[in-house]
Amino acid sequence: MAFPPSFESSFVTQQVQASTQRHTGIAQEASRRRTFAVISHPDAGKSTLTEALALHARVIGTAGATNGKENRRETVSDWMQMEKDRGISISSTALQFSYRDTVINLLDTPGHSDFSEDTYRVLAAVDCAVMLIDAAKGLETQTMKLFEVCRQRNIPIITVINKWDRPGLDALALMDEVTERTGLIPMPLTWAVGFAGDFRGVWDLKRDEFVRFTRKNAGASLATEEHLSPAEALAQEGDAWTDALDEASLVIESNQPFSIESFHAGTGTPVLFSSAVLNFGVQHILDTLVDLAPAAGPRRDVDGTPRPVDAPFSGFVFKVQAGMNRAHRDHVAFIRVCSGVFERGMVVTHANSGKTFATKYAQQLFGREREVIDEAWPGDVVGLVNASALRMGDSLYVEEPVEFPPIPLFSPEHFRVARSKDAGRFKQFRRGIEQLGHEGIIQVLRSDLRGDQAPVLAAVGPMQFEVVADRMEHDFGAPMRMEPLPYSLARLTTHDAQAALSAIRGTEVLVRSDGEYLALFNDIWALRRVEKNSPEISLSTIGTDAGDARGY
């Protein structure tokens, strides 16, 4: 049957309009997303700030932090028992909530260097980072290492000086340290009124007003804010106000006024002052993220080609986690949506295997809490439940094939043999070890000589072994014991080199879960002897060099 030309023309026009609307809708939704991580040294207040941001966005009613970690209740982002007991973040979590007309995807990260790999994976999935600095300690070692990762990935950074309610360093000295150690140009958006330990409020430079804070309910609820004109601030605060104006003006004159281009280019950093534990200055941080942080944009594939946000759906796995909720004996693959719209139930292609599967069980995450999600947009994080074939760094797509850069493993520096305490629980022991290796909690190595009952666990930091022991006992019901091995570094090798290396004293070759052969050495001298005496043996670094494992 032939259709009249006018009908065919109308049909084509409708198809073009529908396609245009779809692309426009995806771009608009992407522009509403802010996906970021908070990076800091341990105990700088990262999880407290995470919860304070959720409190100010009105998605929780009471903050979990009070006057300090001795009195602190669990935070919404710390869900493991070890995290609650120690008051530190061990595993990264995702929190999604709305603020104003913007969707916030906040990825909370571990601060401790022993969990460097987990933090690195999270930073592969964000568009911006908040660098949290303890006012009393300045830029600490782990903060600088995380900053270097952001620099390498061209991630814009917002600097927040936290804990201004406690005695600390001079504000100008902190700005000098930021400049000297990071090379970033500090661009103040707020400036503390009152010295460290006497936090009265902030000068909001954009609005040219004094925002005075009053602590409320020991910091568990929103602080009271009072907005005063400069004249009122001068009359009530006197020298504290004029000092704040003079200091901030000096920083601006020495560097430059705020420039969003410098911020997005990674040459300048917006600076804000806060006390997360008291909920002082937190609203300004949220507003800065909404108003100034980059929205979800094109992501580069393995060839360096940007994938437009309005291309068909694509995403990559940046984390796999089990045991988040005792009521659910399942595991979750965290997916960063890179392009298109994700729809629950859609059939996606696993780029690494070429196989397709339906995304039946998709969830939105808020710490360990979760709910079913029907759709998600570029910048969002989706939890795919029991997608057992997925590994960290895997890419997913529909229609147009794409593969995103892999997430490298780190070179382990600590090694222990694991054995089940109860021979009758060996099946649970083996299943637990395999699951933790799948999640990337630990690297699992095996050899015919040691057998399956004594796998070798390899870690970047020793606290990873504590997490393994805790998870094995409480999640899998398989208590275990571990014995340290004398090795301190590893190199990738080949099957052909296995016999020669195994005959060398102070060296052992094992096979990792992904099939790679790892040569373990007692120390750097053992490695150098092999390199000198047997140059024909293939040895290469693992993801990052052993010496850089904690520094990315």
Binding residue positions: 108-112
Helices (H), 275-315: 282-292
Distance CA 546, CA 300 (A): 27
Query: CA-CA distance, 171 to 106, in Å (whole number)?
Result: 27
> Strands, E, within 326-484: which ranges?
331-339, 342-343, 347-350, 356-358, 362-366, 369-372, 375-376, 381-385, 395-397, 414-420, 443-446, 456-459, 480-484
- Residue 28's identity, in one-letter code, is Q
| Side-chain half-sphere exposure of 339, counting CA atoms within 13 A | 25
DSSP-derived pairing of the beta strands 33-39 and 102-108? parallel
The answer to whether 33 and 99 are in contact (CB under 8 A) is no
Beta bridge partners of 93: 108
- Nearest CA among 281, 368, 489, 426 for reference residue 95: 368
**Which DSSP symbol is given to 275?**
B
Pairing of β 507-512 and β 517-521: antiparallel
Radius of gyration (Cα) for the chain, nearest Å?
26
Q: How many Cβ atoms are within 10 Å of 424's Cβ, its own excluded?
A: 8
Distance CA 79, CA 89 (A): 9
Positions of E strands within 229-313: 268-273, 299-300, 306-307
If we measure between CA atoms, which residue out of 132, 108, 105, 127 comes closest to residue 118? 108
Task: With CA atoms as reference, report the closest residue to 284 among 297, 295, 293, 274.
Answer: 274
Tokens in use for 550? Answer: 């904690």
> Which uninterrupted H or E stretch holds 315?
strand 314-322
Question: Residue 462 is encoded by which pair of tokens?
Answer: 């020793």
Residue position matching structure tokens 């690297």: 443
d(CA 533, CA 501) in angstroms, rounded, equals 11
User: What residue numbers does the annotated binding site for GTP cover?
Assistant: 108-112
